Structure 1
Amino acid sequence: MADNNEIMMKDILDELTGVNIGDVVGVEVLVVEDGQLVVGVDNAGVEGVIPKREFTADRSANLKDLAKAGDHFEALVLRRAGGDKENGEFIFSVTRLAARKAFEQLQKDFEADKSVEGKITGAVRGGLLVDVGARGFLPASLISDHYVSNLKPYVGQTLEFKITEIDPSQNRLILSRKDFVTEKREAAFENISEKIMPGDVVEGKVAHLTKFGAFVDLGGVTGLVHISEISYKRVEKPSDVLSPEQDVKVKVLEVDSENQRIALSIKQTQPSPFEQATSDLVAGDVVEGTVKSLTDFGAFVEIASGVQGLVHVSEISNDHVRVPSDVLSVNDRVEVRVLSIDTDSQRISLSMKADDSNEAASNQESAQNEADYMDNDDSFSIGDIIGDELKNN
């Protein structure tokens, strides 16, 4: 019986005041206090309060910086004030009214498949909080088209989002950047793929690093620099030599339009160790080197760090040599003459013969041996290089 009386009394009071729970009413600020605004409902003779949390989402804000006596605005009637009614009959909210209006617009955007703009206000476990007029949640798995482990750099950014789920009655709003990023990337890839070709050297910025390489942003589209293409030196981890946001120059190795993938190389924009070591060498130069390995058809001599050339068996001596091991041993220091340098295939042809221009027959044989070596893609293999060493072990 008591409950019925309370309900009846509430209805009577509502009729008398003309203010109902859930109404949107115009209010005037009467007093600005530290934790709340005391307001009066326009043309109703009813007063109430707006707690700070119902006026702004910024907990550090000072209400006196945001409102002053005499300000007019709309507010949502949340509930009747309980207990002490010194501050009025009702509790009002501005933030919830704004959220209600925002949800109405967001619902229209969702149905029209429109993107929305919002500011990322915080990072929580599993994702980001976004202010799009109402508070939305951006799961970490939907931030981008790749896994994002560090969420903090996104806080404070204003970005575009797609709405994937909305339920105004539950204040539920799920956002996604992944779909938006994917659509943008597809359009950007089509644009970029029309401008670059394998062999081109372009500027880029390191987007993010993985264990197997670095993704480089070419202007809305990322390409992969595999770890083996970062440097001519051995790289244990891409992060040892690269960092996010670093500007880099890359060479385009492949553009796969079907799978929307671009293969890039950083090291191929720089001179190779072979090119560096042979940049000052020309045919006819005489240099010292070390015999690194012996095969049945010749000796490999290192003339610079990591750079070896072949002395064909016919170029070891003016005298007939049956096999190189008859006259040479591994680690021998020898003097060699450069016959030719093939930069494309990174091969050097050498000779240990005395340089006797009168020996026409010998020169003709040397030229033929050199041509055979340079023209044959199978001139030597790793097995050839170390074969004799294996036999001796």
Structure 2
Amino acid sequence: MATSPNPTRNDFEALLNESLGGAEGGFEGRVVKGTVTAIENDFAMIDVGLKSEGRVALREFSMPGQKADLNVGDEVEVYVDRVENMNGEAVLSRDRARREAAWDKLEGEFAAGNRVDGVIFGRVKGGFTVDLGGAVAFLPGSQVDVRPVRDVGPLMDIAQPFQILKMDRRRGNIVVSRRAILEETRAEQRSGLIQNLTEGQIIEGVVKNITDYGAFVDLGGIDGLLHVTDISYKRINHPSEMINIGDTVKVQIVRINRDTQRISLGMKQLESDPWEGAVAKYPVGARLHGAVTNITEYGAFIELEAGIEGLVHVSEMSWTKK
């Protein structure tokens, strides 16, 4: 830049701005490349081309749970917060540089709906903090796993995929989910497993949950419903009368709905139907002994054998009593 023989204050300001990258596009507020000139105690001295170097804490160059891998002469990117502080040093930040770069990348991944890699490194109220390559995201407790997790320790400080649910750069807010990844993976596994199953197939599974209407059986990565009416031919009031959580049971696949990925199971189908041959075994007019299983206003149900009951109507109980 040419100057007059007697430079004015404006000439000097123009030269200064030029040395710092221009009046509007100066160093401040930008991510620039610098060189590590020295490592002293817990700080690295970085030269970014200003009249003075800046100090950056070594911890800013390390990932959560890891040590900084930094040597003299390395070229690094840092964010220039201020060209000079009260001590005459440049105020630099490696964290801010990583955060700015991470946000640019994450916005692209979020728009494309892609997964991102991150590391759970801390606990906060209602969830956990995740480092996404420089940007810090919030992982709600409900989004850690498909089931409640009592101990998150084994999941911390290791790289794993996450799905971005929401992000707002202006507020610096990112919400991620690990559960969405697991559910997607399980859905893929379920589709693959269902393709290998057929109706009528006999398979072993483990009872994982019991409800009033039946039990859910894990068939090796996919669950099937064993309805209470398909557990036994005899009358039972609750599935726990026949099975318990953790039991290994042999079941038959009764029905598969590949559209909804639902599987209906049966246990009684593995036994012979007691009603086969019942007409010959219990002819009309025969006198039999049985156990009362249920009493209603209109009569009583009598069990002749497991799976076969008969109704004694209230009008058939006595000739004299009403």
- Which category describes the TM-score, using the shorter chain as reference length? 0.5 to 0.7
2-side partners of 1:119 and 1:55: how far apart? 15
Residue 21 of structure 1 is aligned with which of 11, 24, 28? 28
In structure 2, the CA distance between the partners of 1:110 and 1:91, relative to structure 1 (3 Å rule), is same
Aligned to 1:255: 256
Identity %, equivalent residues: 26
Aligned to 1:281: none
In structure 1, give the amino acid aligned to 2:223: T
Give the RMSD, CA atoms, in angstroms. 5.0
8 Å contact 1:128–1:140 — kept in the other structure? yes
8 Å contact 1:130–1:138 — kept in the other structure? yes
Aligned to 2:62: 56
Residue 47 of structure 2 is aligned with which of 5, 20, 41? 41
- Which structure has greater helix proportion? 1
Aligned to 2:282: none
Deviation at 1:28, TM superposition (A): 0.6
8 Å contact 1:122–1:129 — kept in the other structure? yes
Aligned to 2:9: none
8 Å contact 2:137–2:173 — kept in the other structure? yes
Aligned to 2:129: 129
2-side partners of 1:170 and 1:13: how far apart? 34
Q: Which digits, 9 at most, give the CA deviation of each residue in 1:52-83, with x for residues without a partner?
A: 4533353x6555xx334444322222346655
Equivalent runs, 1:252-291 vs 2, <5 Å? 252-264=253-265
**Higher mean displacement: 118-127 or 220-229:** 220-229
8 Å contact 2:45–2:55 — kept in the other structure? yes
Q: Which digits, 9 at most, give the CA deviation of each residue in 1:166-205, with x for residues without a partner?
A: 2233332222355555555555444433332343233556
Answering whether residue 288 of structure 2 is matched by residue 298 of structure 1, we say yes
8 Å contact 1:123–1:155 — kept in the other structure? no
2-side partners of 1:149 and 1:56: how far apart? 31
Deviation at 1:299, TM superposition (A): 0.9
Query: Computing the radius of gyration over CA atoms, which structure comes out larger, 1 or 2?
Result: 1
Aligned to 1:97: 97
Aligned to 1:161: 162
Aligned to 1:152: 151
Q: Which digits, 9 at most, give the CA deviation of each residue in 1:328-383, with x for residues without a partner?
A: xxxxxxxxxxxxx9xxx756xxxxxxxxxxxxxxxxxxxxxxxxxxxxxxx624x5
8 Å contact 1:222–1:262 — kept in the other structure? yes
> SS of the residue aligned with 1:299?
coil
In structure 1, give the amino acid aligned to 2:262: R
2-side partners of 1:94 and 1:210: how far apart? 53
In structure 2, give the amino acid aligned to 1:31: I
Q: Which digits, 9 at most, give the CA deviation of each residue in 1:7-56, with x for residues without a partner?
A: xxx999776666722222313141231xx313131444521211245333
In structure 1, give the amino acid aligned to 2:131: D
Aligned to 1:30: 38
In structure 2, the CA distance between the partners of 1:228 and 1:124, relative to structure 1 (3 Å rule), is farther
Aligned to 1:354: none
Aligned to 2:200: 199
2-side partners of 1:138 and 1:97: how far apart? 23
User: Which ranges in structure 2 are unaligned for 5 or more consecutive residues?
Assistant: 1-12, 275-284, 292-301
Aligned to 1:111: 111
> SS of the residue aligned with 1:111?
helix
> SS of the residue aligned with 1:78?
strand
Q: Which digits, 9 at most, give the CA deviation of each residue in 1:216-254, with x for residues without a partner?
A: 55455433456888999976699x9436xx987654343
1-side partners of 2:76 and 2:62: how far apart? 14
